[in-house]
């Protein structure tokens, strides 16, 4: 009797990173593309690394997707935020030149 062994295990390491948000973004993108992955976390209390594993057959495709996600995150990280607008001066402020005339 031939039994189905179930889905192939996720045994190929895709990435090991301390960027938890980046790893989560990769997980989400892999899910959108239909690539199954398993997340493993280290036991350290400080600088804990995240490992993502995929099936061997999906590794090449998942590598391209992960590289794309991490590159996008680096590109957005280099964009400096807009400066906050200058506060408006109230018309009755003592700092207005009208009071020093």
Residue 5 to residues 8, 32, 37, 53, 76, Cα–Cα distance (Å): 8, 25, 18, 19, 42
Collapsing DSSP states into helix, strand and coil, what is residue 37? strand
pTM value? 0.67
pLDDT at position 36: 94
Write out pLDDT tens, residues 41-97.
Answer: 877 777 889 999 999 999 999 999 999 999 998 887 776 667 777 666 555 555 555
Q: Is 32's pLDDT higher than 80?
A: yes
* Annotated domain spans of the chain: 12-74
**Which CATH code, of 3.40.50, 1.20.58, 3.90.550, 3.30.70, is assigned to 12-74?**
3.30.70
Which residue from 18, 9, 15 is spatially nearest to 36, judged by alpha carbons?
A: 9
């Amino acid at each position: 009797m031939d039994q189905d062994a179930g889905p192939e295990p996720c045994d190929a390491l895709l990435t090991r990173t301390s960027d938890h948000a980046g790893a989560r973004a990769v997980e989400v993108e892999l899910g959108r593309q239909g690539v199954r992955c398993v997340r493993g976390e280290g036991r350290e209390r400080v600088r804990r690394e995240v490992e993502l594993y995929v099936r061997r057959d999906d590794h090449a495709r998942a590598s391209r997707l992960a590289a794309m996600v991490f590159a996008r995150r680096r590109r957005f990280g280099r964009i400096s935020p807009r400066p906050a607008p200058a506060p408006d001066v109230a018309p009755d402020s003592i700092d207005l030149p009208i009071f020093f005339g």
